[in-house]
Each structure stands twice: as structure tokens, then as C-alpha cells.
Structure 1
């Protein structure tokens, strides 16, 4: 393994080294040799990292041992891929702030597939939401579309389970590291996915999920995919954050309409009002991308 990837791997374990900062460092110096050249005041001046945080980062870097960490993860079949690697998800490279490193367990080639569609929604779906999800996803799965979601309870979990039930493939992007599957009720689902599908994280496996990790991971869910389907979402929900990020990434956004009297559909109805594509059937989504591939507009 080359020295740059080892540096990237070790830096990703430093608590004060955010992925955004690491991405900036890679842009400034793709060799990452810069980390040994910058003086403390330069870290503060150019990268807004205080001297105290720089001191902590340097101490951590000196305490980490690549071989022992790498072996620890490898024993659990946890691997990682750098942004400059050919295995890194193609579409994810296009977003403004892609994770410099992805940790994963499962089949990383799934993330290179052309037909990736994200599905997000409420943690507390109604029967209508559950039925709508099955109705939309079955034709997509039948046509080898890979379902991407965040393995949260509710719509996310149902989307992964639907893909597995109908002999399709699915990818989960989790908020913490791979040693900390959340929620605990999805450990059995996660084990199935790590064996035959794919789970990704931008955090080292030992990282417990934090509240701020969840909105961050949403940009990866939408960034992996050509489009995102929102099934039942209240106003000001995490699903709407994902939808907005998808729009910023120039991806398609599809929303399932609902009753004007149902708060679970207030966010999706608002999305449709703002220009998201109203979707009633999985074939509508496939037709949309066929039009785009042929250079046609509706």
C-alpha cells in the first residue's frame, strides 16, 4: 500500500481532522506530505485549526500504528477505499465534499453500478407509506436497480428489506463506524447486508455515531445515486435535508404525494410544490432516466 493511502488512513482516525479538512489537504497537496511541513501557526492561519487541536492531532498520529489498525479491521473483513482509487464510487466523486476515505464491508463494486436509487423517509411510516414503498420499489428491483438508504428505522429499513426480499441488491450508508451499528434492532439486517450487499461509512470503524453524523451522511446517500425518492416526510425532517442535498448535487428528486391532512406527507407535498417530480409508480422513475439518457426533455 502506498504512503499517501497510509497517511490518509491514519489522519482519518484523528479526532480533530474532519473529512472536510482532510479533503482540503488532499486538494492542496495530493501527497499529504504537507502535514509534516506545516507549522502550528500555519494550521491555524490556512485551515482554522487551533494550536491546541494541532498538538492533539500530532500526538494521535504518533500513537497510531498503521499495521495494527489495518489488521484489526481486516480480521473483521472491513476494508477502505480512497477517493483516488478506481474502486471509489464514481458518482460520489462529483459532489462538492466527497469523503476522502470510505470504510466498507461487503461488495464495493455495487457502488459503481449505474442504476443506484436512494430511498429515504419517515422513521414512523403509516400503512400508506409502507404500501407505497413496496409498490414503487418492486419494479425497480426487478430491473436491477440497487436501493441505497441509511439503515435508520422506518422507511430506510423497509427499503433495504424490500431489496433483499425481492432478490435485489442494497447499500446502506451509516452515520457512525462499522463497529457501531445503529439502531441496534438492525444488527441482523446489517449482518445480512455485510455478507451479500454493502455497508459504507466515512468514519473509522471505532467511531460511535454522533447526532451531527446523521445529516452529514445524507449527502453520501444522495451523492451515490442518480436520484432520490422521498416517501413520507414531515416538514424540517432529515429526509428533506437529503432531498435538498440531492438537488444541490444536480440529482433527480422524486416525491410520493400524500393526503393534505397527513403530517407525514406535509414535507413530500411541499417538495412537489417546489418542483420535485411527483411519482406514483416505479416505472415512472425508470422512464425519467431513459429520457435523460436519450437527451430528451419532457
Structure 2
């Protein structure tokens, strides 16, 4: 950890709180998932572009990196389409409970991306996640379609997280975000144009929808992303990971307070969601210990070589 302060910790919690509020906004906005994501990514790309200009961050990049960023943007668009689609099909609580599995999907896919062996405890955690899913599926059968769509959204999130994990090592994170938002909005624009969805009604939204979309695109997307990049400079990845796992907790509480009884779930649902969340957190703790052990071994080997 670097120069972390109480302000940094509080700022991180604010960001995670904002991310949790994203799902509630998705439920409050009356338009469909496709239109919602188009507005979100389009407005966010404009806001991030303005930030890049103000900070004088160059957009120049290699053709190969640009292609990867644009491809990741399409994945993000599909992730948000399924995310908000799941909210419309089920509710906020169901969707966020499923989204918490995204971090676990990422750890399962890591061996494929980074060509390493599967670790024993990952199999055990996988069984616990399946048990948590069973509890949720078993009692919330009316939301089966929404649960499946939310799981697909979590899987898509795992894929683009791994892609961004490689991109951010060589490229500016805000620049990556701009190209991804632009690509996502562009791909949806092509789809809407081909299906003749652009008409006068497309831009005739309720006043409340414009407000909610503004908050979603500018605060929950552009600001939250840029702020998260800033705060991560002073906090360890482990701290960020553990705090980020509070997103579904914040979101489910906010959904219940704002949306009321439509978010009230069965006791087994909460047991299943808590089991999944605890598993994800334990997985992060084990991963962090493993990385520290590997770093100590690396440092010890370097010391021996230097001697």
C-alpha cells in the first residue's frame, strides 16, 4: 500500500456505493435495455473524451491495441445489455446476487488466459458457488430466465475484465475506457440502424428518464471509472478487491429502500447470496496470500542472485 489515507478509503466506498446504485437506476429508467445502454455508453464516451482533452491525454495507440479495445467495448455493451435486461426480467436483488459471481468466473478463467494450473481451493469454492446458486434457483423459480441472463452478464464481465487487465499494463486506463465506451455505443448504433429503431419516439423520453440517464452515464460511469483509477494509486489491489465485493450488498439494500416490496426475497435467497459473496471474498483472500508468497519467493531469489 502506498500513501493511503482515510479519505482514500471513504472515496473508494463512495465509488462502490455508486456502482451499487447503478442497478437501482436501471430499474427506475422506463426504457428498454438496448436504448438504456446506448444512452449510457454514448453519454459516457462524450464525458470521458472531454476529460481526456482537459488532461491532454493523447488518443494515439497501436492498431492491434485499438482493435482489442474496440472488441472489449462490444463485450461491455453485451454485458450491460444482459445486466439491465436481467433487472427488467427479474429484479435488482437477483441480478446483483448473480453479478457477484463475476469475480469468481474471472478466477476460473485466469488459468486459460495466463496458462496456469487450476488450484485445489478453486474447485472447492466452485462447489460452494454452485450450492449458493442452487439455493437461489430452488426458491426463486419465477425468476429463472432473469437468473440465467444475469449469469451470462457476469461471465461477459469476467471476459472483459481479463482483457482490460492486460490492456491497462501498457495503456492509459481512461483512454481504454473511452474507446470501449465509443465502441459499445457504435455497435449498438449499427444494430438500431439496421433494425430501424431510430425514430422520433426513440428520443422522446420522460423527464425522469433523462435525469436518471444523466446520473447513470456521468456519475455512475464516467466519474466512477475515472475516480476509481485515481484512488487505486494509493490503495492496494487487495483492499480494492474486498471493498468492491460490497457492491451487491449496497445495491440490494438500496433497492429494498427505494423500490420496496418488489425487492423482498425469500430467506433461502439471502442464504444463497451470502454464501456466494463469502466464497468470492475468501477466493480473493487466498489469491492475495498466494501472490504475496510468490512475491516473497521472487524477492528472495533476487537477493540470492545479487549476492
TM-score norm. by structure 1 comes to 0.26
Question: Whose helix proportion is higher, 1 or 2?
Answer: 2
Question: Whose strand proportion is higher, 1 or 2?
Answer: 1
| Structure with the larger RCO, 1 or 2 (CA within 8 Å, 6+ apart) | 2
